[in-house]
């Protein structure tokens, strides 16, 4: 047996290939695909091939031909080939002056395509000679001819005598037309004058999940004399003897059956049904007539079950080969790379001793290098009788036993009210994790930083697993994205301090959602002053006001004081501030030591320890968005610092997460508008309202406190600018130097937890 199209099996997307996806190429350019003509396409083998094999090859056009005497109309059937190429239907008319080929259902002459052509005859032996004589003169002189027959030697001799030098190949499907697909089934090929199959045919069989066996016509016919003719004769004789015994077939024989008899008799009944049997049809009909109708159907289903059981392992392996799915066989784990009628070959990518192994493909190969485990994939061949595939949960359990683990410390940022044990409960049970243990937890303003040490199975990408863990925890424990009073007019725009791609843009998007205008345009402006000047006429804005890491945002307070009255605050949004380090895909930190890192000066200052640790050269730029662009365009390896999820549009990947010195801080932004921009709270939400005051000198806050303002929070900077968050009103007349921003739905210091 010889496999003619070795190589990796197609992936799941190739199960229904298009002609364009499989077009042959010559010198990098698409070459002309052949036309296909199938003679005898209406029923039996021809119909089966057109449905289950031929759609997996590229065709310029398809012509399906059958005799007018065939009761099944070609054009009345649905053809998968129509999804891949233009299909025409023709029928052969017998006339006193010879056969005439016409478009089906008409008297209009039908001309077969010119140029490169494959013509496939799938006809009974009695009509093959006349079909060859009528059809071959209609196709190109260099057309490829294929003949489907159960006795290939006489059929090929007949075809070659009529082919006038055209290449002629014989094909025999070693299964009947009830097979639901070619997956796991065997196609016997007798090539023309060589041991090589046409490349398109070998590729189509592989893509359809079938197995191609190659031999000579005498080899094929001698084998079929045993595996088909002799087997059919023995089973037909067995059926004849049982039904002619004089015993009641149902009460005396079937009700007293043994498992062996049931299997053999079921197979005998299948032979009686076979259209391709070598036993004369009249003999089979005579035996079949002796059966009661209901019993015949019962025994026939027994045969189907027996054949399915006999083929089940090969069919399962063929499906795995075709899908490219990871599978275990014996002590090997990998993907099936070859399947023959008797063997299966797997590319074993499992290396290392039990408990310390790796997979030498994909993420496992990178982990192998980190763990110091060497090896190369090796092909291992098993006899089908010893190849028991392990997949799904059983394979996952096997890999849990055999593979090493990669250790990672993962930091999670959650509301302060969530305990470290709560985070651990969410993390545990994640597929691919060997263990998870709590290492550290630190409470900061409004949130808790939790560090969990996990062991990740060595065939997985640790970065991807960490991302999924952080996403899962964030979805399980998260604080509100923002609170705001209902705007008094439709909001079309939210202005923020640009450029795009910053935490301020994140805040603008959250604010748009909080005020019920998720489709509002987000407008990046150059200064806080421009943001405040843009307010009104359907425009709101966002300004950062406090940071859990650095306190009051002085520049925003300065801008608000400069504009005096006429600016009101109606809501707030919280934005977690986290910096990740980005570089071009494929680069690791080991490739970037001493490289340039681009970021806004404040971001560089907040990540100073990371820069020192990797000896990075800081290059300040106008914004982190600009830094990402510089890193993407740099000729030499370079990094950029930016918030989470910012690198994908530029082809940048995360090389290290949370590189800031004080990871986990939150910046609170005010949602601001012109006077009268906000009405009452909407949506039934009644959060705690706080009255916000600001001033330029700390002494200006004292009259408010003396006048009865409830003291919740008072933040001030080194120059005396301040923000007072008050739970009760005060006499504003006593504090003329203070500026009232308004009543704002103010989330408490410990954010609300939503599961």
Per DSSP, the residues of 596-638 read: EEEE-HHHHHHTHHHHHHTT-EEEE-S-HHHHHHHHHH-SS-E
Query: What does the pLDDT read at residue 28?
Result: 38
Task: Count each helix (H run) and each strand (E run) in the chain, helices first.
Answer: 20, 36
Query: What does the pLDDT read at residue 521?
Result: 96
Please, where in the chain does CATH 3.30.70.380 lie? 405-476
Kindly report the CATH number that applies to the domain delimited by 12-215. Answer: 3.40.50.720
Query: What does the pLDDT read at residue 750?
Result: 37
Name the residue with higher pLDDT: 374 or 205: 205
pLDDT tens-place string over residues 117-129: 999 999 988 899 9
Q: Which long-range contacts (CB under 8 A, 24 or more apart) does 111-114 make?
A: 111/138, 112/35, 112/37, 112/63, 112/138, 112/139, 113/35, 113/37, 113/60, 113/61, 113/63, 114/140
Query: What does the pLDDT read at residue 1?
Result: 32
Name the residue with higher pLDDT: 394 or 622: 394
Band (629; pLDDT cuts 50, 70, 90): very high
CB 152 within 8 A of CB 170: yes
Query: What does the pLDDT read at residue 754?
Result: 31
DSSP annotation of 578 reads: -
Question: Which residues lie across from 670 on neighbouring strands?
Answer: 543, 572
Cβ burial, residue 70 (10 Å; 0-12/13-18/19+): middle
> Is the pLDDT assigned to residue 500 strictly greater than 60?
yes
Mean pLDDT of 572-588: 87
> Is the pLDDT assigned to residue 583 strictly greater than 90?
yes
CB 560 within 8 A of CB 543: yes
CATH superfamily assigned to domain 579-662: Periplasmic binding protein-like II (3.40.190.10)
CATH of 482-576+667-745, one of 3.20.20.70, 3.40.190.10, 3.40.50.720, 3.50.50.60: 3.40.190.10
End-to-end CA distance of the chain: 61
> Is the pLDDT assigned to residue 375 strictly greater than 80?
yes
Please, where in the chain does CATH 3.40.190.10 lie? 482-576+667-745, 579-662
pLDDT tens-place string over residues 229-246: 898 999 999 999 999 999
b or e along 594-607 (b: 16 or more beta carbons within 10 Å of the residue's beta carbon)? ebbbbbbeebbebb
Within 10 angstroms of residue 608's Cβ, the number of other Cβ atoms is 12
> Is the pLDDT assigned to residue 25 strictly greater than 60?
no
Query: What does the pLDDT read at residue 195?
Result: 65
Range among 37-41, 225-229, 447-451 rated most confident: 37-41
Q: How crowded is the C-beta side of 92, counted as CA atoms within 13 Å? A: 23
Query: What does the pLDDT read at residue 480?
Result: 61
pLDDT tens-place string over residues 66-115: 987 777 788 888 899 998 899 999 988 877 777 788 888 888 999 999 99
Three-state DSSP class for residue 180 = coil
pLDDT tens-place string over residues 149-177: 989 999 999 999 999 999 999 999 988 77
> Is the pLDDT assigned to residue 30 strictly greater than 50?
no
Cβ burial, residue 96 (10 Å; 0-12/13-18/19+): exposed
Please, where in the chain does CATH 3.40.50.720 lie? 12-215
Name the residue with higher pLDDT: 726 or 18: 726
> Is the pLDDT assigned to residue 574 strictly greater than 50?
yes
Query: What does the pLDDT read at residue 490?
Result: 95
* CATH code 3.30.70.380 for 405-476: yes
CB 146 within 8 A of CB 65: no
- The enclosing H or E element of 569 equals strand 567-577
- The enclosing H or E element of 702 equals helix 702-706
Query: What does the pLDDT read at residue 446?
Result: 61
Band (38; pLDDT cuts 50, 70, 90): very high
pLDDT tens-place string over residues 408-445: 999 887 877 788 999 999 998 788 888 999 999 987 65
Band (213; pLDDT cuts 50, 70, 90): very high
> Is the pLDDT assigned to residue 6 strictly greater than 60?
no
Bridge-based pairing of strands 596-599 and 186-190 is: unpaired
pTM above 0.85, yes or no: no
Mean pLDDT of 592-597: 93
Residue 178 CB partners (closer than 8 Å, separation 6+): none
Look up residue 508 and give its two tokens.
């603008």
Band (752; pLDDT cuts 50, 70, 90): very low
Range among 176-190, 210-224, 658-672 rated most confident: 210-224
Task: Output the average pLDDT for the chain.
Answer: 85
Mean pLDDT of 138-145: 93
Look up residue 169 and give its two tokens.
């190949």
Percentage of the chain with pLDDT > 90? 44
Report d(CA 140, CA 138) in Å as an integer: 7
Give how far the C-alpha of residue 59 lies from the chain's centroid of Cα atoms, to the nearest Å: 28
Report d(CA 557, CA 544) in Å as an integer: 9
Q: Which long-range contacts (CB under 8 A, 24 or more apart) does 561-564 make?
A: 561/694, 561/695, 561/696, 561/721, 561/739, 562/529, 563/529, 563/532, 564/739
Band (324; pLDDT cuts 50, 70, 90): confident
């Amino acid at each position: 047996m010889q496999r003619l199209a070795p190589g990796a099996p197609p992936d799941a997307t190739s199960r229904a290939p298009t002609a364009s996806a499989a077009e042959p190429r010559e010198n990098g350019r698409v070459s002309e695909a052949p036309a296909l003509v199938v003679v005898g396409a209406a029923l039996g083998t021809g119909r089966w091939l057109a449905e289950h094999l031929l759609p997996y090859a590229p065709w310029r056009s398809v012509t399906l031909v059958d005799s007018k005497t065939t009761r099944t109309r070609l054009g009345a059937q649905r053809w998968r080939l129509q999804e891949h190429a233009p299909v025409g239907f023709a029928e052969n008319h017998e006339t006193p002056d010879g056969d005439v080929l016409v478009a089906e259902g008409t008297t209009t002459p039908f001309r077969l395509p010119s140029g490169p052509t494959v013509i496939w005859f799938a006809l009974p032996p009695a009509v093959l000679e006349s079909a060859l004589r009528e059809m071959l003169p209609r196709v190109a002189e260099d057309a490829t001819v294929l003949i489907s027959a159960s006795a290939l030697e006489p059929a090929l001799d007949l075809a070659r005598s009529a082919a006038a030098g055209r290449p002629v190949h014989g094909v025999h499907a070693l299964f009947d037309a009830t097979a639901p697909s070619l997956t796991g089934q065997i196609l016997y090929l007798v090539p023309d004058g060589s041991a090589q199959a046409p490349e398109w045919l070998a590729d189509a069989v592989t893509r359809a999940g079938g197995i191609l066996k190659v031999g000579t016509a005498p080899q094929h016919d001698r084998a079929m004399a045993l595996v088909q003719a002799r087997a059919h004769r023995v089973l037909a004789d067995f059926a004849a003897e049982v039904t002619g015994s004089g015993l009641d077939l149902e009460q005396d024989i079937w009700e007293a059956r043994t498992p062996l008899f049931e299997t053999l008799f079921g197979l005998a009944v299948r032979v009686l049904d076979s259209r391709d049997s070598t036993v004369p049809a009249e003999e089979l009909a005579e035996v079949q007539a002796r059966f009661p109708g209901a019993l015949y159907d019962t025994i026939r289903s027994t045969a189907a079950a027996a054949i399915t059981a006999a083929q089940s392992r090969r069919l399962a392996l063929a499906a795995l080969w075709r899908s490219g799915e990871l599978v275990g066989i014996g002590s090997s784990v990998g993907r099936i790379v070859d399947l023959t009628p008797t063997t299966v070959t797997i590319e074993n990518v499992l290396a290392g001793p039990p408990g310390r192994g790796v997979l030498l493909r994909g993420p496992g190969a990178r982990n192998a290098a980190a763990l110091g485990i060497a090896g190369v994939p090796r092909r291992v061949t098993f006899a089908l009788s010893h190849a028991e595939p392990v997949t799904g949960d059983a394979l996952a359990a096997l890999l849990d036993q055999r593979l090493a683990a990669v250790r990672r410390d993962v930091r999670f940022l959650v509301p302060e009210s969530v305990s470290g044990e709560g985070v651990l409960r969410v993390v545990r049970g994640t597929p691919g994790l060997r263990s998870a243990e709590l290492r550290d937890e630190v409470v900061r303003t409004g949130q808790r930083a939790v560090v969990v040490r996990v062991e990740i199975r060595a065939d997985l990408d640790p970065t991807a697993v960490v991302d999924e863990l952080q996403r899962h925890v964030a979805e399980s424990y998260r604080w509100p994205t923002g609170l705001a009073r209902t705007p008094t007019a439709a909001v079309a725009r939210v202005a923020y301090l640009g450029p795009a791609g910053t935490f301020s843009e994140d805040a603008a998007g959250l604010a748009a959602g909080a005020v019920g205008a998720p489709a509002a345009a987000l407008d990046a402006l150059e200064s806080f002053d421009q943001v405040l000047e843009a307010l009104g006429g359907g425009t709101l804005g966002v300004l950062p006001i406090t940071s859990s890491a650095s306190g009051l945002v002085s520049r925003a307070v300065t801008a608000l004081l400069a504009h005096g009255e006429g600016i009101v605050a109606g809501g707030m949004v919280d934005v977690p501030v986290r910096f990740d380090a980005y570089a071009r895909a494929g680069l690791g930190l080991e490739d970037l030591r001493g490289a340039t890192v681009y970021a806004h000066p404040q971001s560089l200052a907040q990540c100073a320890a990371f820069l020192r640790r990797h000896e990075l050269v800081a290059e300040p730029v106008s914004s982190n968005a600009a830094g990402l662009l510089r890193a993407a365009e740099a000729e030499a390896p370079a990094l950029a610092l930016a918030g989470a999820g910012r690198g994908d549009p530029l082809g940048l990947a995360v090389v290290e997460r949370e590189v800031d010195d004080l990871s986990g801080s939150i910046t609170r932004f005010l949602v601001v508008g012109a006077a009268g921009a906000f009405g009452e709270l909407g949506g039934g939400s009644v959060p705690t309202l706080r009255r916000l005051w600001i001033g330029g000198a700390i002494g200006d806050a004292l009259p408010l406190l003396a006048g009865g303002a409830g003291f919740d929070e008072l933040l001030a900077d080194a120059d005396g600018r301040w923000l007072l968050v008050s739970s009760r009103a005060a006499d504003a007349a006593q504090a003329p130097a203070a500026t009232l921003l308004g009543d704002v739905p103010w989330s408490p210091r410990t954010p609300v937890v939503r599961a």
